Amino acid sequence: MIACVDVDYRDAEAVSACVCFETWSDATPASESVIQIDDVQPYESGQFFRRELPCILAVLNSLPHLPEVIIIDGYVWLGGQRPGLGGHLHDALGQRVAVIGVAKTQFTGAEPVELVLRGRSRTPLYVSAVGMDLATAASHIQAMHGPHRIPTLLKRVDQLSRGR
């Protein structure tokens, strides 16, 4: 099972969503999960994972079992060996699950990343990974369903977290 997760914030609350699917080319989810989190940590500059990670773990805990791969909206590494959200998630899950980060904007210093162009877009997605070869992770994101820059199921999890 593969899962995409996303979180949307509303003051001190958040909505965390997860879309699970079986194969990289799936157009529709096998399952969806959405939970509301009533007490969210405040944003701290340079410590975003402290706010986001508990929300992601909460929605993952609502699943019957952990997926083999989790896709996050963001980076796995922020530069060198400094973990981003994906690195922290990988560690929080006992390094048992591969994590792929898919970011829409460049973070200066983030490495290693693969640039993935999808559809007719000339603007790349910035893909990073832990627990999986980076080139393999990038090819999986490239293979995801959808004709546009953002794969269909990544767009779906974003919509769910925003209440759409």
How do the domains of the chain map onto residue ranges?
Answer: 2-161
Q: CA geometry: angle at 41 spanning 39 and 43, to 5°?
A: 140
Cα–Cα distance, 60 to 99 (Å, whole number): 13
Topology given in CATH for the domain delimited by 2-161: archaeoglobus fulgidus dsm 4304 fold (3.30.2170)
The whole-model pTM stands at 0.93
pLDDT along the chain (164 residues), means of 10: 95 93 98 93 74 94 96 89 91 97 89 91 96 97 97 98 87
